[in-house]
A and B are shown apart, each in its own frame.
Chain A
Amino acid sequence: MFKRRHLIGIEDLKREEIDHILDTADSMLEVSTRNVKKVPALRGKTVVNLFFENSTRTRISFELAAKRLSADLLNFSGSSSSLSKGETFRDTVQNIEAMHPDIFVIRHAASGSAQYLSSFTKYSVVNAGDGAHEHPTQALLDALTIRQKKGSLDGLKVTIVGDVLHSRVARSNIFLLRNYNTRITLSGPVPLVPEEFKELGVEVEYDLDKALEGSDIVMMLRIQRERLSGIFFPSLREYRKYYQMTPERMKRADKNALLLHPGPINRGVELMKEVADGEQSVILDQVTNGVAVRMAVLYLISGGTNELDH
């Protein structure tokens, strides 16, 4: 049973709740394969996409999810709004609230913004990525993809590679996977993979070849080259040398290992195109599953109640 009214992060979810979302998402997959790709479950509900930070992929994924459940959808983008005229976050939200939506989907560059929104709005909140905190639907769609291909999340060795420090995707995935019997190893340049992550119950191995040994799941993270190069690692050339996923490196992992990436991918930076398009890559399955997971989340939270919150 899933009784929550908001989805702020994976951290406070129990294993049963995660399983319930994934089971529901499994059923939602079928809707997207029909001729009429629509069910009336959320008819009459209004979903507001509040995107204070750009993200085409996540926004259209939530948009399709809402529409396939027959909800009405409003897209709000921070860059083209009154925010640029000096309106505060809270004023912006309260103006939209006055038009009676039902669910806010929020993406914001500040960690904690989804939590903050849920503290004063009377409507449901889904976190679509807040700063370096969490991106819960990404971890859920990763889990759904792994479960589809591997049958279960239990017993897997998972290696997460790249900019863990700034990655809400890595955090949400760690919070999710530690509910199952998994072994998680982080790898990347020292400044981007601080030892403190060990407190979350994961291992840290700076030698990527060693980290990959016997891995069932390889999760690559996006390198924001414009922001990181020269500060967190000396040069892109050096990053490629030590941390780029190449077909040779991939062979270190289990022969049936899956390669995941949250997108958008930087071909030739964190992974070579032979790997991105290779047989072990499930990057496009992740995109398909993203819509199903978001349908499941929108459906489940709209049945949630106030009193059981947080």
Chain B
Amino acid sequence: MKIKAKIMDSRKIAAALKRLAMEVVERNHDLKNTAIVGIRTRGVFLGERIQKMIEKSEGVTLPLGILDITLYRDDLSTVGPHPLVKGTEIPFDVSGKDIILVDDVLFSGRTVRAALDSIVDFGRPNSIQLLVLIDRGHRELPIQADYVGKILPTSRRENVELKLKETDGADEVRIVEEE
């Protein structure tokens, strides 16, 4: 694995998330009807950070749900040993809510497709909006994000590596390439 470029550090990630949090506030007039759902694993921590930022500036704590999309994947019959299911926890009724779906890196769009299927199994939200820290292109499905931290054009051979304090000890986004 070769490191090709360091794209974001802790400060830049924080600044991007802050902007995204404000965009969420701007677009959703009724924050009391808004909830965040993070996609495991890193989407959950990004969702938590957005939740805290909105809480600080607006004084409203948005409910936070956790989504494990493993059981909704479209490649289960081809992946070999099945990945561990860590579980979904949505502690509120999604029906009628405006849901902010949070993921770390938007790539093929298949994870988001699975997440959408999973959320609608819990009820009928008023809307679902997609928030991602990085959009690296190469979509295989007609899916776009509503809030994007950074658009990062990459080649298919490259990989975007996102590290977060909560899981990896430090905040960092970099592009790596397999050798």
Mark A residues whose CB is within 8 Å of B.
1-3, 20, 23-24, 26-28, 30-31, 34-36, 38-42, 44, 69, 296, 299-300, 302-305
State A24–B81 Cα separation when bound (angstroms): 13
Residue pairs across A and B with Cβ atoms less than 8 A apart, 25 shown, are A1-B81, A2-B81, A3-B81, A23-B84, A24-B84, A26-B87, A27-B85, A28-B85, A30-B87, A30-B88, A30-B89, A36-B121, A36-B122, A39-B71, A39-B121, A41-B70, A41-B71, A41-B72, A42-B76, A296-B85, A299-B82, A303-B81, A303-B82, A305-B80, A305-B81
B-side contacts of A299, CB under 8 Å = 71, 82, 85
Which residues of chain B (124-155) have a CB below 8 Å from chain A?
A: none
**Secondary structure dominating the interface of A:** loop
Question: Are B123 and A41 within 8 A (Cβ)?
Answer: no
State A225–B73 Cα separation when bound (angstroms): 48
Question: Are A40 and B88 within 8 A (Cβ)?
Answer: no
Question: Are B72 and A24 within 8 A (Cβ)?
Answer: no
Contact A34 B122, CB 8 Å, known A40-B117, A300-B82: yes
A-side contacts of B89, CB under 8 Å = 30
Question: Are B82 and A40 within 8 A (Cβ)?
Answer: no
B 75-100 to A, binary, CB cutoff 8 A, 1 in contact else 0: 01101111011111100000000000
Question: Are A303 and B79 within 8 A (Cβ)?
Answer: yes
Question: Are A303 and B122 within 8 A (Cβ)?
Answer: no
B 46-88 to A, binary, CB cutoff 8 A, 1 in contact else 0: 0000000000000000000000101111001101111011111
Question: Are A35 and B123 within 8 A (Cβ)?
Answer: yes
Question: Are B121 and A303 within 8 A (Cβ)?
Answer: no
A-side contacts of B77, CB under 8 Å = 44, 302
B-side contacts of A305, CB under 8 Å = 80-81
B-side contacts of A3, CB under 8 Å = 81
Mark B residues whose CB is within 8 Å of A.
68, 70-73, 76-77, 79-82, 84-89, 117-118, 121-123
Question: Are B85 and A24 within 8 A (Cβ)?
Answer: yes
**Secondary structure dominating the interface of B:** loop
Given A23, A28, A35, which contacts B122 in the complex, CB threshold below 8 Å? A35
Question: Are A40 and B71 within 8 A (Cβ)?
Answer: yes
State A265–B45 Cα separation when bound (angstroms): 47
Residue of A nearest to B82 (CB): A303
Q: A27-B87, A299-B71 are in contact. List 8 more A-B contacts (CB 8 A).
A: A24-B84, A28-B85, A34-B121, A34-B122, A41-B70, A41-B72, A41-B76, A299-B85
B-side contacts of A26, CB under 8 Å = 87
State A2–B118 Cα separation when bound (angstroms): 24
State A26–B77 Cα separation when bound (angstroms): 22
State A35–B94 Cα separation when bound (angstroms): 12
Q: How far is the CB of B93 from chain A (nearest CB, A)?
A: 9
State A296–B87 Cα separation when bound (angstroms): 12
A-side contacts of B118, CB under 8 Å = 39
State A41–B72 Cα separation when bound (angstroms): 6
Residue of B nearest to A26 (CB): B87
Question: Are A40 and B72 within 8 A (Cβ)?
Answer: yes
Q: How far is the CB of B123 from chain A (nearest CB, A)?
A: 7
Q: How far is the CB of B28 from chain A (nearest CB, A)?
A: 25
Q: How far is the CB of B97 from chain A (nearest CB, A)?
A: 15
State A214–B121 Cα separation when bound (angstroms): 46
Q: How far is the CB of B75 from chain A (nearest CB, A)?
A: 11
Q: How far is the CB of B41 from chain A (nearest CB, A)?
A: 14
Question: Are B68 and A27 within 8 A (Cβ)?
Answer: yes
State A23–B87 Cα separation when bound (angstroms): 10
State A300–B81 Cα separation when bound (angstroms): 7
State A42–B71 Cα separation when bound (angstroms): 8
Residue of A nearest to B93 (CB): A35
A-B residue pairs, 8 tightest by C-beta: A303-B82, A27-B87, A39-B71, A27-B85, A41-B71, A36-B121, A3-B81, A303-B81
Contact A38 B81, CB 8 Å, known A26-B87, A30-B87, A30-B88: no
Given B82, B85, B122, which contacts A302 in the complex, CB threshold below 8 Å? B82
Q: How far is the CB of A309 from chain B (nearest CB, A)?
A: 13
Question: Are B72 and A303 within 8 A (Cβ)?
Answer: no
B-side contacts of A31, CB under 8 Å = 71
Q: How far is the CB of B121 from chain A (nearest CB, A)?
A: 4
A-side contacts of B79, CB under 8 Å = 303
Residue of A nearest to B120 (CB): A36
State A35–B123 Cα separation when bound (angstroms): 8
Residue of B nearest to A296 (CB): B85
